Structure 1
Amino acid sequence: MGSHAAESDWWRDSQESILPRDGTVIEQTLFVKLGRWQWWFLVVLNVFFVLVGQSAAVLLGRFYYDQGALIAVNDDSGGPTGVSKGKYILGFICTIGASALYSLLLSLMQLSFQKVLKKETFSVVLEMQIYTALVATCAATIGLFASGEWRSLNGEMENYGKGQVSYVMTLVWAAVAWQICSVGVVGLIFVVSSLFSNVISTLSLAVTPIAAVIIFHDKMNGVKVIAMLLALWGFASYIYQNYLDDSKARKKLADAREP
């Protein structure tokens, strides 16, 4: 009975530690009502959304480009054909910057939950996802028309390798997959933290190459293996550090209750 009570207290303390400090009593009560298995179910569900959604979206993007849309990729060199070296380096730098901004975005999203919205309810999570997707859609649409690339959409559709219907369906399902991934990302921020959400997003780097080997029969080269190992290493490091912190918290709790 004593160990069960201690375990229950630890679970309550671990839940309270991720509650917004200045949220209302009703919101905190609703959050605390999440039991152990409910909490784990939400975590697993959102992890599934992130891994499946991101992997499916990347694979659909690969299929989209393979069928002749916009940029051709040479599998032997790993670089895009018809692009100058300067633009290739600029694209590489922008990709690294985008990765850093993505991590910053997740942290700012968690900060907005705690300091701006001052509540963490499922409706707010959905609103956050809807509004950010709406802003991104508007920005992409403005860029499409401002750059004049909308004029090439008809020709791109007609020259698509699998036909016009496949072109539309590929774009639609890629958008759906990214939305599923985004719901999982925001859900993990809500249930756990922005750091954990970022770790799971990185873990998909180990899942996507395996899926590409199965679906597209790609070769597992050294770059893909290194990316997979780094993703698994980062995930394992996070889990191990979380285990150490959890063990330290349990020990402090047990020491505090000793007479």
Structure 2
Amino acid sequence: MGEAPEIQLQVPSEDEKLNEDSVEQQTNGNQSTTITQQRTYKWWLLMTIYTFFLLSGQSVATLLGRLYYDKGGNSKWLATIVQVVGFPILIPLYYLPSYKSSHTSNITTNPPSLLVLSGMYFGLGLLLAAGCLLYSVGLLYLPVSTYSLICASQLAFNALFSFFFNSQKFTPFIINSLVLLTISSTLLVFQNDSSGSTPVPRAKYVIGFVCTVAASAGYGLMLSLTQLCFEKILKKQTFKAVLDMIIYQSSAATLMISVGLFASGEWKSLGEEMEGFKLGKSAYVNVLVWIAVGWQVFSIGAVGLIFEASSLFSNVISTLGLPIVPVFAMVFFHDPMTGVKVISMLLAIWGFVSYVYQHYLDDRNSDTGKL
């Protein structure tokens, strides 16, 4: 019989083991980097979409709101309710493919009770209803220039509330952004004043001034509280959470404003107002409908930016839209585009870029810390 073939077992050396471990770690590292990049790209895509929704919705709704007042509308309660009543058009969005948040660690297995959720939505809805009414009164009694200038103060209010409620940190780029955007809005008051405005009675001017300041403070508070609710109560960041926040909050606000509309008796004169609208009854209805649609598009963008970034960032983007409106007014209403408006717009863009650059630095520092 021949000899059995000799079987040799090759045992990997220590160097080979180290090389295999190194290759495996490198592969895992590459996969982790790819996932991180995908999440970063998704975040910036969402930020772009939400920013577009906010700016486009705000611009359209503001221009149509001005058209409503200019062409014969004078109901402050109707101008208020159209800012929130359009929420049913968002309900079909529940049936879109769900958006999975990249922040899975924030998802809680113990959802808040129905009582807590009801109190949260009712409280935010009350703030929303009060703010919309105050803004409507302010726009009714104040020149557009003064109104826009006071609305820019919501940045300062939001920054103050974010400091206490959301642990907002102020860096040189953020401060630069706030200063530039505030100056950008302030420049518009000089342009409007130089073009002349209808004198406003002293009493109405004071009422409009106080209402707009209070509305700006309330809006800044509502944004900070909304961010706080996402962090402390909902504890999740999903597209459904955004829809829930908008729809339930708007539902509560619509109910409160409806009570005010009927209690004030303004509903009795709406028929005469529609008949006397300078553009016709059909245009009257269309203007109100598209104001409602515009504000709901704005709400999606605003709330989306809150939980993707912060309430202060959402407010910065909102303020960016103030000098954008005159550009569209030039196109649709043939308003002159003067040098002051151009400078205002450039400063707003500069402030926006400054804030976005700070987020870029934060992301880069965060990725560096993970290495």
Gapped runs of 5+ residues in structure 1? 15-33
Match of 1:107 among 224, 233, 236: 224
Matched, 1:41 2:45: yes
The match for 2:18 is none
Match of 2:280 among 163, 169, 175: 163
> Which stretches of structure 1, 4 residues or more, deviate above 3 A after TM superposition?
5-12, 71-79, 220-234, 240-253
Say if 1:206 and 1:232, in contact at 8 Å, map to a contact too: no
Following superposition, the deviation at residue 244 of structure 1 comes to: 4.5
1:25-46: per-residue Cα shift (whole Å, max 9, x none)? Answer: xxxxxxxxx7333222211111
Match of 1:78 among 185, 197, 207: 197
Q: Distance in 1 between matches of 2:249 and 2:41?
A: 30
Match of 1:61 among 56, 60, 65: 65
SS at the partner of 2:321?
helix
Q: Distance in 2 between matches of 1:104 and 1:234?
A: 22
Name the amino acid aligned to 1:203: L
Following superposition, the deviation at residue 240 of structure 1 comes to: 3.9
Following superposition, the deviation at residue 251 of structure 1 comes to: 5.6
SS at the partner of 1:185?
helix
Say if 1:53 and 1:179, in contact at 8 Å, map to a contact too: yes
Larger Rg: 2
Name the amino acid aligned to 1:196: F
Following superposition, the deviation at residue 177 of structure 1 comes to: 0.6
Match of 1:181 among 292, 298, 303: 298
Say if 1:205 and 1:227, in contact at 8 Å, map to a contact too: no
Q: What count of residue pairs does the alignment treat as equivalent? A: 231
1:150-192: per-residue Cα shift (whole Å, max 9, x none)? Answer: 1221111010001111101100110001001101111112222
Say if 1:206 and 1:229, in contact at 8 Å, map to a contact too: no
Q: Distance in 1 between matches of 2:326 and 2:336?
A: 9
RMSD: 3.1
Q: Distance in 2 between matches of 1:61 and 1:116?
A: 35
Match runs of 1:6-17 below 5 Å = 12=36
SS at the partner of 1:205?
coil
1:83-130: per-residue Cα shift (whole Å, max 9, x none)? Answer: 521221221232123223212211111110111122222212101000
Q: Could you state the TM-score of these two structures normalised by the residue count of structure 2?
A: 0.55
Matched, 1:209 2:326: yes
Following superposition, the deviation at residue 230 of structure 1 comes to: 5.3
Identity %: 52
Say if 1:213 and 1:220, in contact at 8 Å, map to a contact too: yes
Q: Distance in 1 between matches of 2:300 and 2:283?
A: 25
Following superposition, the deviation at residue 211 of structure 1 comes to: 0.7
Match of 2:54 among 50, 65, 72: 50
Q: Could you state the TM-score of these two structures normalised by the residue count of structure 1?
A: 0.76
1:165-222: per-residue Cα shift (whole Å, max 9, x none)? Answer: 1101100110001001101111112222222211111111121111111110112357
SS at the partner of 1:182?
helix
Quick check: 53-62 or 130-139, which moved more? 130-139
Q: Distance in 1 between matches of 2:203 and 2:280?
A: 34
Distance of aligned partners of 1:35 and 1:231 in 2 relative to their CA distance in 1, 3 Å threshold = same
Q: Distance in 1 between matches of 2:209 and 2:227?
A: 28
Q: Distance in 2 between matches of 1:41 and 1:247?
A: 17
Name the amino acid aligned to 1:91: G
Matched, 1:139 2:143: no
Q: Distance in 2 between matches of 1:186 and 1:85?
A: 37
Quick check: 198-207 or 227-236, which moved more? 227-236
